[in-house]
Amino acid sequence: MTRTMGVLGGKWKLIIISYLTQPRRFGQLAQRMSLISRKVLTEQLRELEEDGIVRREAFAEAPPRVEYSLTEYGRALLPILEQLSAWHSAAPATAAVQ
């Protein structure tokens, strides 16, 4: 568990992953997650890539195009994240009020 948190620890990582249900360009990600700065978005994507969760594909075009997608391993996280979301939206009233 502690190690799992090491890989998914950044407060943005699970959010980034949940946006990668399909391949997306860097600009698309930055636009949809306007709360995260470009710098941090780049950093987290690099780390996810190192951990084998995300695949980065750069096309030698102009203007540049870079697509991010989930690896097999990363895709395996999606159903778990859905369960997490479902869990959270099922919060009992006493907690939801807070």
- Return the number of the residue (9 or 64) whose C-beta is nearest a copy of itself: 9
**What, of a copy of itself, DNA, none, does residue 78 touch, CB below 5 to 8 Å by kind?**
none
Contacts of 85 (CB under 8 A, 6+ apart): 18
- Per CB under 8 A, does 88 bind a copy of itself? yes
Q: Max CA-CA distance within the chain?
A: 54
- Residue 32 contacts which entry, DNA, a copy of itself, none (Cβ below 5-8 A, type-dependent): none
CB of 78 closer than 8 Å to CB of 94: no
For the chain, the distance separating the N- and C-terminal CA atoms, rounded to the nearest angstrom, is 28
Give the Cα separation of 98 and 95 in Å (integer).
Answer: 6
20/44 with CB nearer DNA: 44
- State which residue, 6 or 63, has the beta carbon closest to a copy of itself: 6
Smallest gap from residue 25 Cβ to a copy of itself (A): 20
